[in-house]
Structure formats: structure tokens, C-alpha cells
């Protein structure tokens, strides 16, 4: 389960994984290898080296995970009941910047490989507030039409660029709504007698 920093943690995990995957892509050994960065795309990322930007453009609630039961815990002092975590969908725009068009296409190809070969991340692959949890992140290439992609670029007031749209589900954001439960210490059963 994740605390309020879980969204930032997922973004950092993505950037770290992509940066590691891009290390071997330098077309010229004297050039620095491409790298991945977290960006809000307000300004164009500074190159060189070539950059693969990771932009979180939408956060939504996963409708398939609604109405889950409360999470009950039995800590040493008193049992608690917590509202179930909010299940989030995170949508990312992954865009190459700088370098030749061939380098940009290689960066896109490497990102596709990373998310296709390992579309489910869990366990030791997770860091931050997700480290050591049972959470699982599933990556899906989001099929958007050219018009939908153009609207995203229009909304951030940038000209359209080749990019990938990925959806990450389910990111669990813990609730702060915790209630103490009272233990049943004793009970009485009064039996009714029949004549």
C-alpha cells in the first residue's frame, strides 16, 4: 500500500527503469547515452544528451476497484478498520527529445521493449513507499487516436511530437480514514425454556 507519495514513487520507478534501459543506445561512443527524466513539459527538456521525458498527464480512479471491503488490521494494542485504498490509474506520455530522428526512434523502441517484456512490476522491482509491499503495477500501451494525442499536446500548448501513451494500474493510495474496533470481551447467551 502507498502513502501520499505513491504517485511520485511510481514516476521515479519508471524513470529509473527507462534510464537503465537507455544506457546502451549511444550511437557514438563519445556521446553521452540517452537518459529518462520526469518532466511537466512546460519547457522543452535540455539536450544533449538525448532525453526521454516521462510526463504524468492524467490521474484517474480505477472504476473496477470500487466498493472494496474495509482493510482490517490487528495491531498489538487495538484492532483497526481502514477505508480501502483508492485505486488509481496513472497515464503517462513518454516522448523522445534531442539527437537524430534515428536516435529518437531507438529511444521509443527501447521504451516499448521495457514495458512489453516486463508489463507487470512487483516485489523487488518497486521502490519508495511501494518497496516490500504486495502491490503490482501493470503497464498497458494506451491506444489513442491521432486526434486524442493531438488534444493532449494542444492542452499542454506544445506542437505534436511522436510519443507513447502508457497506463499504469492499479496504484493503491492508502486512506487516512482509520477507526478503532472494539473487541468482544464476553457474551451471554440466555436460553429460552420451553414448557
| Domains of the chain, each with CATH number or no CATH | 6-175 (3.30.2000)
Please give the Cα distance from 46 to 85 (Å, whole number). Answer: 38
Q: DSSP states of 168-192 as a string?
A: EEEEEE--S-EEE-PPP-----PPP
Residues in the chain, overall count = 195
Please give the Cα distance from 46 to 48 (Å, whole number). Answer: 7
Residue 85 grid coordinates = 485504498
Q: How many CB atoms lie within 10 A of CB 74?
A: 10
**What pTM was estimated for this model as a whole?**
0.80
Partnered with residue 54 across adjacent β-strands are 38, 94
- Residue 139: per-residue pLDDT: 95
Least Cα distance to 130 among 12, 1, 11 occurs for 1
pLDDT at 19 over 70: yes
Please give the Cα distance from 88 to 81 (Å, whole number). Answer: 21
Segment 33-56 shows an average pLDDT of: 89
pLDDT tens figures, 80-131: 667 778 889 999 999 999 888 888 999 999 999 999 999 999 888 888 888 8
Please give the Cα distance from 136 to 134 (Å, whole number). Answer: 7
Amino acid at each position: 500500500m502507498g502513502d501520499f507519495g505513491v504517485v511520485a514513487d511510481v514516476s521515479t520507478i519508471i524513470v529509473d527503469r527507462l534510464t537503465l534501459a537507455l544506457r546502451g543506445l549511444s550511437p557514438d561512443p563519445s556521446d553521452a547515452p540517452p537518459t529518462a527524466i520526469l518532466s511537466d513539459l512546460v519547457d522543452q527538456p535540455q539536450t544533449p544528451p538525448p532525453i526521454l521525458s516521462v510526463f504524468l498527464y492524467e490521474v484517474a480512479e480505477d472504476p473496477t476497484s470500487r466498493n472494496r471491503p474495509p482493510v482490517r488490521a490487528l495491531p498489538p494494542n487495538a484492532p483497526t478498520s481502514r477505508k480501502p485504498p483508492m485505486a488509481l490509474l496513472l497515464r503517462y506520455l513518454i516522448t523522445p527529445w534531442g539527437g537524430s530522428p534515428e536516435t529518437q526512434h531507438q529511444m521509443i523502441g527501447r521504451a516499448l521493449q521495457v514495458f512489453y517484456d516486463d508489463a507487470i512490476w512487483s516485489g523487488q522491482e518497486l521502490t519508495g513507499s511501494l518497496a516490500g509491499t504486495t502491490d503490482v503495477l501493470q503497464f498497458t500501451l494506451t491506444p489513442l487516436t491521432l486526434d486524442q494525442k493531438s488534444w493532449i499536446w494542444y492542452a499542454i500548448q506544445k506542437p505534436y511530437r511522436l510519443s507513447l501513451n502508457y497506463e499504469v494500474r492499479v496504484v493503491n493510495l492508502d486512506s487516512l480514514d482509520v477507526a478503532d474496533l472494539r473487541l468482544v470481551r464476553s457474551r451471554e447467551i440466555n436460553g429460552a425454556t420451553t414448557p
